[in-house]
Structure 1
Amino acid sequence: MEVPNVKDFQWKRLAPLPSRRVYCSLLETGGQVYAIGGCDDNGVPVDCFEVYSPEADQWTDLRPLPTARAGVAVTALGKRIMVIGGVGTSQLPLKVVEMYNIDEGKWKKRSMLREAAMGISVTAKGEWGQG
């Protein structure tokens, strides 16, 4: 993984992501970067979930996704991470919505989407999830 240095426009190499994959989703919240899901070298969706600490330049494995998937939409709601839709191991879009509580380190199922979706984007608006 690399990031650009905006002062001199040079790339800086960061610690490598522990789980090799494509089509994962990245989310920054609370100064940490989360890598969520994706596909392995064979194109099979995985349940990998890791967090990167810029201060330590280190990735840490977290509790795996309850549902292995790739191409998910993600957003932060306070200290919660919402993971929405994506493509599952059947290679079909999913209706699944799951929420990770950062403080508790636990996943919780949420209400399903009305229709299966993959490759979508979401954003959080307002003060939702601050408590």
Structure 2
Amino acid sequence: MAADVEKAQRAAEGSSPTIFSKILDGSIPANIIYKDDQCVAFRDVAPQAPVHFLVIPRRPIPRISRVAESDAQLLGHLLLVASKTAKAEGLEDGYRVVINDGKQGAQSVYHLHLHVLGGRQMGWPPG
């Protein structure tokens, strides 16, 4: 956990291209489990639960705190894809959706992404 916080503290907003843009352009491979014209879902390379995947928009949005009214449809679509993909991954008993924002939110990649974690009992509080 401390390593994740340190990584987030070193991350720079606006650094381009991000690892996610490289996944989107195919220059970095990913285990893609869903894709459409607006987003892509793929398995996390360092899973924190038995099922851990990310949902990212194709259009880069650096942070959830920087979205605009015009992003409402895309944000809703990301959540629908998270739900549909969680169901396809067998997470009938529930799961957690996490969006990190900024350094104090432990965001380490400045391309909006939803973490979907499941397959075990989640604890509370989360952080």
Normalised to the residue count of structure 1, the TM-score between the two structures is 0.27
Compare relative contact order (CA 8 Å, sep 6+) and give the higher one, 1 or 2: 2
Whichever structure has more helix as a proportion of its residues is 2
Normalised to the residue count of structure 2, the TM-score between the two structures is 0.28
Structure exhibiting the larger radius of gyration computed from Cα positions: 1
Whichever structure has more strand as a proportion of its residues is 1
